Structure 1
């Protein structure tokens, strides 16, 4: 790796590592697996750096690779045979990102089909069109999932305050 490649990789890691980790954490629900996914994603980025020359494509590429890596890990024989907690680890995400709220835990309770679009929309600032492209679904489907996710969040948060 020459100096310019190293700087490019470092710049990409510094700019996108938080995003990659948070998307991985949203899908994997624990910091150890999210860190493993993040390492895999940046290894894949390093291996494909020469093909990823357009800066506008790096962010969507990283999100797509992160989600695909998570899905592959979640379906793997090893992962399905190990015991994983259904709830996110207490303190892990907060230590990394300062996020400690009932809303965060409520989002993590949602099913993946609503949790991921909500996360991408609110936490990563993706548009519904970008999310539709990333998730390979219609934009109207993304909007419906975000709407349903919001409704479920309201219900979850209302139950917690009672």
Structure 2
């Protein structure tokens, strides 16, 4: 593949999948700017490795896999842990005297649902997002995440059970 073809293909996949990949990355890193950085890095890796891509799978699946790996590597990094500690300290300080706007947002049902989903472990969040928000088939999720179909089914079932329990607890205590 020559440079022009690579440039054209990269531009096409950036337009076609960019927003989806940012949403996917956000489910991992929980920060929109960091999610955009993860996707940018994924596109760079895609471009660098296009000559090695055999087109055995779809390029979308390959991009999802690259993005997921980028996010997982980032979450393991020292930089992320340092940023998390900083945000925890800032959030704790803000929660002492929350603003009226913050109180309204915290009470909204949509925010509460996001909180419940983000409280789930990454593997559970991942399958929920890919299945319900990206409308992907379980087989595609298995291919993208690199785990078996039965593992995906188990994670999805477990994630739904955990989410149901959290919602029921919130209804009882809320």
> Which category describes the TM-score, using the shorter chain as reference length?
0.7 to 0.9
Match of 1:148 in 2: 158
Check 1:85–1:155 CA distance in 2 against 1; reply closer, same or farther (3 A cut): farther
Match of 1:125 in 2: 135
Q: Secondary structure at the match of 2:58?
A: helix
Q: Is structure 2 residue 47 aligned with structure 1 residue 46?
A: yes
Gaps of 5+ in 2: 92-109
Check 1:53–1:13 CA distance in 2 against 1; reply closer, same or farther (3 A cut): farther
Q: Secondary structure at the match of 1:50?
A: helix
Q: Secondary structure at the match of 2:51?
A: coil
How far the C-alpha of 1:72 sits from its partner, in A, is 1.0
Q: Quick check: 1:102–1:157 contact (8 Å CA) kept in 2?
A: no
Whose helix fraction is larger, Structure 1's or Structure 2's?
2
Q: Quick check: 1:16–1:59 contact (8 Å CA) kept in 2?
A: yes
Q: How many residues align?
A: 149
Question: Structure 2: how far apart are the matches of 1:128 and 1:69?
Answer: 22
Match of 2:10 in 1: 9
Check 1:38–1:107 CA distance in 2 against 1; reply closer, same or farther (3 A cut): same
How far the C-alpha of 1:85 sits from its partner, in A, is 4.4
How far the C-alpha of 1:23 sits from its partner, in A, is 1.2
Deviations 1:87-130 (A, max 9, x none): 9xxxxxxxxxxxx5543332222111211111111112222122
Check 1:120–1:77 CA distance in 2 against 1; reply closer, same or farther (3 A cut): same
Q: Secondary structure at the match of 2:136?
A: coil
Match of 2:34 in 1: 33
The within-5 A match list for 1:3-152 is 4-52=5-53, 54=55, 57-82=58-83, 83=85, 85=87, 102-152=112-162
TM-score scaled to structure 2, two decimals? 0.73
Gaps of 5+ in 1: 88-99
